[in-house]
Amino acid sequence: MADLRNNFVGIKSPNPFWLASAPPTDKAYNVERAFKAGWGGVVWKTLGSEGPPVVNVNGPRYGAIWGADRRLLGLNNIELITDRPLQVNLQEMKQVKMNWPDRALIASIMVPCVEEEWKAILPLVEETGADGIELNFGCPHGMSERGMGAAVGQVPEYIAMVVRWCKQYTRMPVITKLTPNITDIRKPARAAKEAGTDAVSLINTINSIVSVDLDNFAPNPTVGGKGSHGGYCGPAVKPIALNMVAEIARDPETYGLPISGIGGVTTWRDAAEFLALGAGNVQVCTAAMTYGFKIVEEMISGLSDWMDSKGHQTLDDICGRAVPNVTDWQYLNLNYVAKAHIDQDACIKCGRCHIACEDTSHQAITNMVDGLRKFEVMEDECVGCNLCVNVCPVENCITMVGLEPGKLDQRTGKPVDAQYANWTTHPNNPMAVVAAE
């Protein structure tokens, strides 16, 4: 059996699946249920200072995007940090940690950018026995208007300032949670690393309005006839999260910085992809809110079974394995050639590949052959764009087949050149040295 035990910046947990700071981790009752279900750790819903209480809306807090059969693809939330008293949260955290010493318990914190505020709350959190802290520099709504959350995460200098305070006033590992609402995710990550953070976590939610109520002409969720931008999460944000994790993992200035991957993790495969792109563990929220805490059982068994089938014994065997293969477009092998191939036995003759290619691509798929309805790829016109694979409703009916070196590309008439088939070794690839190490 694969060993899923996780050691993230010295914080140990039985598996790499943590619950992210969010409604599922707002109180001891939820967290106890999560640990009983098998979660390796939790990041407690973000704590605030002992100042004026946080007040959440009592109307709808979530908007949604659905796919086929009302499968939830994305959630937009306008909920703020915990509205429960700080002392109540601290007492519950302490008790939960005593009850579950083998699980990771991280305290998410968001207080004003005032040194005394951070100096005051850190020893209170430390006294609970928490394994670490996560600095919430990502929340894009409500708190950001008060100069916290994403308002800090969008300014590298502010990030560095708070990280330095935290490293000065606590012995606990510091995880800096980054906002995706920024042009270049590498800059805040660099600032956090330079200031001494032990790790970064990303992504937090994306600024969004998911829909508009066309009867009331107000954004959803609508509260008393008005709506607000909120934070977008769920399966739909996973591609954005993967890219940002990879950007930090392959950046020479942040190379080696531990990353906790967040954003749309719903299955074991999602988790494996984050790990392969450099994450040391993953945090989950929307999947738990959609399917309940027991979904972690499928994540654990699925990741373990896959690792066993591939011969991977520990998480270290897969963490970062895909990073050397992530490169900039200019370093892609332009001599590589692939063509689409249609399995005629699997084809259901729906014609989606033909019409997509005919109307919007390169007119490379027939719809009639010898007077019969038949869909075939004309290699001399196919540019290998992969559109037909993505629109075909039958899995693996259309596949991309790479042409072997020396074979003529019928479209160009030139032989396929495999000189740089592995671009991790290309002399102009800036990651080649990193990959070699």
Encode pLDDT of 195-243 as tens digits. Answer: 999 999 999 999 999 999 999 999 999 898 888 888 899 999 999 999 9
With 70 as the cut, is the pLDDT of residue 145 above it? no
Verify that 175 and 123 share a domain, yes or no.
yes
User: What average pLDDT does this structure show over 183-189?
Assistant: 96
User: What average pLDDT does this structure show over 358-368?
Assistant: 96
Tokens linked to 39: 């979660």
Given a contact cutoff of 8 angstroms between Cβ atoms, the answer to whether 103 and 40 are in contact is: yes
Predicted local distance difference test score (pLDDT) of residue 307: 98
Which of these, 411, 283, 303, lies nearest to 1 by C-alpha position? 303
pTM beyond 0.75: yes
Predicted local distance difference test score (pLDDT) of residue 428: 46
Q: Is 308 helix (H, G, I), strand (E, B) or coil?
A: helix
Residue 433 φ/ψ, nearest 5 degrees: -65, -45
Verify that 36 and 160 share a domain, yes or no.
yes
More confident residue, 389 or 150: 389
How many angstroms separate the CA atoms of 435 and 437, rounded?
A: 5
Average pLDDT across the chain, whole number: 91
User: What average pLDDT does this structure show over 313-319?
Assistant: 97
Catalytic residue annotation: 139
CATH code (residue 29): 3.20.20.70
Verify that 161 and 237 share a domain, yes or no.
yes
The reply to whether 89 falls in a domain is yes
The reply to whether 230 falls in a domain is yes
**In sequence order, which residues have a C-beta less than 8 Å from that of residue 66 and are 6 or more positions away?**
72, 73
The reply to whether 432 falls in a domain is no
User: What average pLDDT does this structure show over 28-46?
Assistant: 98
Query: DSSP letter at 229?
Result: -
The reply to whether 329 falls in a domain is no
The pLDDT tens digits of the residues spanning 329-353 come to: 999 988 889 999 999 999 999 999 9
How many angstroms separate the CA atoms of 55 and 43, rounded?
A: 21
How many angstroms separate the CA atoms of 14 and 38, rounded?
A: 9
Place of tokens 């691509």: 361
Does residue 203 have a cis bond before it (omega within 30 degrees)?
A: yes
Q: Which domain holds residue 370?
A: 334-419
Tokens linked to 163: 């990280």
**Beta pairing partners, 62:** 77
Per DSSP, the residues of 160-212 read: HHHHHHHHHH-SS-EEEEPPS-SS-THHHHHHHHHHT-SEEEE--PEEE---E
Tokens linked to 238: 């996973």
Verify that 194 and 270 share a domain, yes or no.
yes
Domain boundary among 295, 320, 345: 320
Verify that 250 and 362 share a domain, yes or no.
no
Tokens linked to 435: 């990959």
Verify that 315 and 338 share a domain, yes or no.
no
Domain boundary among 320, 354, 370: 320
Tokens linked to 65: 């995007």
With 50 as the cut, is the pLDDT of residue 424 above it? no
With 50 as the cut, is the pLDDT of residue 29 above it? yes
The reply to whether 207 falls in a domain is yes
With 90 as the cut, is the pLDDT of residue 275 above it? yes
b/e 124-153 (16+ beta carbons within 10 angstroms → b): bbeebebbbbbbbbbbbbbbbeeebbbbbb
The reply to whether 328 falls in a domain is no
With 50 as the cut, is the pLDDT of residue 433 above it? no
Domain boundary among 257, 287, 320: 320
Predicted local distance difference test score (pLDDT) of residue 80: 81
Verify that 301 and 368 share a domain, yes or no.
no
Predicted local distance difference test score (pLDDT) of residue 420: 40
The reply to whether 428 falls in a domain is no
Verify that 316 and 348 share a domain, yes or no.
no
Q: How confident is the model at residue 58 (pLDDT cuts 50, 70, 90)?
A: confident
How many angstroms separate the CA atoms of 138 and 141, rounded?
A: 9
Verify that 190 and 338 share a domain, yes or no.
no
Verify that 313 and 382 share a domain, yes or no.
no
Verify that 310 and 204 share a domain, yes or no.
yes
Predicted local distance difference test score (pLDDT) of residue 151: 81
By CB atoms closer than 10 A (0-12, 13-18, 19+), residue 428 is: exposed
Question: Max Cα separation, the chain?
Answer: 81
CATH code (residue 374): 3.30.70.20
The reply to whether 427 falls in a domain is no
Given a contact cutoff of 8 angstroms between Cβ atoms, the answer to whether 95 and 105 are in contact is: no
The total domain count for the chain is 2
How many angstroms separate the CA atoms of 221 and 204, rounded?
A: 19
How many angstroms separate the CA atoms of 90 and 121, rounded?
A: 10
Verify that 60 and 150 share a domain, yes or no.
yes
